[in-house]
Amino acid sequence: MSALLGLLLGAGAILMISPALWPRGAREPRPSAIVARQRERLVQAGLARISPATVFTVAALMAVVSTSLVFALFSVVVLAIATGVVAFLLPFLLIGWRARAQRKLNRVVWPDVVDQLVSAVRSGLALPDSVMTLASTGPSATRAQFAVFAAEYRATGNFASCLDALKSRLADPVADRILETLRMSREVGGSELTTVLRNLSAYLRQESAIRSEVEARQSWVMNAARLGVASPWVVLLLLATRPEAAAAYNSPGGATLIVVGLVVSFFAYRLMIGIGRIPDEPRWFA
């Protein structure tokens, strides 16, 4: 009897300390906020098949290659390191630029998506069937995502989980609002869905028109920021082709000048971009 009690006591102690011994054994590790943000940007840029680790690897390779190339051409250590830093950040900047361009493109098509939903609901279709029709009648930019939704709903019949998966694939704040409106109508019910969707469509069109006008007026600020950042570094590369200039930049004073110039250029560029760009709407319902 004492042996049995000892076994039970040992089994209980193991079960009590098992979360500390095997913290990842029963669940998948949760990605960090930086990885999750980068994955969301990849989805928004239409590069969902590429992992954040792949982007990091490509950025590291670009940094190594550009650093080696610039050092071989100009023989300036600090300039080569600065070029490597810029080359490392370049893939992330390109992904962000493509994600913003994709969101800007989708901002125009969401009112059409809402109009198609209103037409489908008014024709008597059930709410899941109305969403499924967007795979064939919706705008071409979103048909693939809604086609996946239709396939998942036919396989599972779970409208809520299919909406969550669709939100993850679209990764757009406007899509979140539309899909959460549909979820609430599905769960709570009511006869005002078409009215709500019509008002949402009108609001989205008005918001898109205002954003387009403001972005057109402030585009000169963005172009001036890019030109102002790139110009000094082009001049620096031209000067570094001369041996006496390369020797000067390899000195402690020249290295300090390059480092300070890189820091000032970065913060000045971020400041100008912050002034000239309209803030993106956060995903409140992600």
| pLDDT at residue 234 tops 50 | yes
Q: Which residue has the tokens 């011994």?
A: 21
| pLDDT at residue 183 tops 70 | yes
**Mean pLDDT computed over every residue of the chain:** 82
Ranked by mean pLDDT, which of 60-74, 192-206, 265-279 comes out on top? 60-74
Band (pLDDT 50/70/90 cuts) for residue 61 is very high
| pLDDT at residue 182 tops 70 | yes
Contact 120, 133 (CB under 8 A): yes
- The whole-number pLDDT of residue 213 equals 81
pLDDT digits (tens, 9 = 90+) for 211-225: 888 777 777 777 877
Is this structure's pTM higher than 0.85?
no
Q: Taking residues 57-62, what's their average pLDDT? A: 91
The domain limits of the chain are 108-207
Q: Which residue has the higher pLDDT, 190 or 72?
A: 72
Contact 173, 281 (CB under 8 A): yes
Band (pLDDT 50/70/90 cuts) for residue 88 is very high
Band (pLDDT 50/70/90 cuts) for residue 26 is very low
- The whole-number pLDDT of residue 25 equals 47
Band (pLDDT 50/70/90 cuts) for residue 17 is low
| pLDDT at residue 54 tops 50 | yes
- 75 CB-near residues (< 8 Å, 6+ apart): 246, 250
- The whole-number pLDDT of residue 151 equals 92
- The whole-number pLDDT of residue 184 equals 85
| pLDDT at residue 263 tops 50 | yes
pLDDT digits (tens, 9 = 90+) for 103-162: 888 888 888 888 888 888 888 888 888 889 988 888 888 888 899 999 999 998 888 888
- The whole-number pLDDT of residue 229 equals 83
3-state secondary structure the chain: CHHHHHHHHHHHHHHHHHHHHCCCCCCCCCCCHHHHHHHHHHHHCCCCCCCHHHHHHHHHHHHHHHHHHHHHHHCCHHHHHHHHHHHHHHHHHHHHHHHHHHHHHHHHHHHHHHHHHHHHHHCCCCHHHHHHCHHHHCCCCCHHHHHHHHHHHHHHCCHHHHHHHHHHHHCCHHHHHHHHHHHHHHHHCCCCHHHHHHHHHHHHHHHHHHHHHHHHHHHHHHHHHHHHHHHHHHHHHHHHCCHHHHHHHCCHHHHHHHHHHHHHHHHHHHHHHHHHCCCCCCCCCC
Q: Which residue has the higher pLDDT, 211 or 3?
A: 211
